[in-house]
Amino acid sequence: MFGIDCHTHSGNSPDGTGTVGGLCRRAISLGLEALAITEHVELNRWHSQGYYGTTPRNDEEEYSYYKRMEKAMKDNHAAKEAYGNRLHIISGIELGQIPCDFGLADSVMQDNRLDFVIASLHELKNKPDFYFLDYRTEDVPKLLEQYFSELLTLCQWGKFDVLGHMTYPLRYIEGEAGMPVDLSAYEEQIHECLKALVNNGCGLELNTSGLRQKYGKPFPTLEYIKLYREMGGESLSIGSDAHCAEDVGSGIKEAIAIAKEAGFSYLCYYLEREPVYIPIP
């Protein structure tokens, strides 16, 4: 299968398929040209819990992400050694909540073991991840206005490589809670985000995870991929957001069709923080 998967995470599956090695073996079996392993690094919990003087708000909220990043860099290096002759392995991170500390983000991204940095916004200030919010009690329009406002700040900073899953909250608002969202109310913010990406030479991710989830669409949808291209955007990456080997490469064929319809004749992945372009056949 032609393609690249620029957004995968290792997991803890008992059969070992969710390990970094498991992800690589799956990518090789699918005939992928490149695989980016992008462990979550939530910048607002980079330090220890004691440093922040807070407690986890749910069972999945962890601290000391500096430890997770160090492990990820070692695992990624080992994967390059083991599988690099059969697959372009991209050592990356998905850096969440960068606006909480731009200085720290700058420092983290100086790590010369990094090929690739996805910038993502999983949660808003003083709120947990969108996954944990109860949308029956939340002011959804206010949430989305704040989300796109913070996203614009992130895009205007623009020192990352690719913006990840731009419409991330819809995974839970529309997909899980079943609440329709009209994004036209946020069109100006979205346009400014895309404009900032183009001006800063940043890429945009076409995240396919929504295709296999209740949402049923990618993040973002065709109209925004096309708008990014029309504004002069050149670097489009495709990522499955896989957390297990089974999902590696999921939705890649559909995403390639979307990319072509949006006007792209090539896709990109990153090595040593520089884009590598692959023509779409």
Give residue-wise pLDDT tens across range 156-206: 999 999 999 999 999 999 999 999 999 999 999 999 999 999 999 999 999
* 58 vs 46: CA distance, rounded Å: 17
18, 10 in Cβ contact below 8 A?
Answer: yes
Using the predicted structure, report yes or no on whether residue 274 has a pLDDT greater than 80.
yes
Q: Which of 7-16, 55-64, 87-96, 262-271 has the lowest mean pLDDT?
A: 7-16
Average pLDDT over residues 27-41: 97
Residue 11: pLDDT band (50, 70, 90) is confident
- Quote the radius of gyration of the chain (alpha carbons, Å): 18
Average pLDDT over residues 235-255: 97
* 35 vs 237: CA distance, rounded Å: 11
Using the predicted structure, report yes or no on whether residue 14 has a pLDDT greater than 50.
no
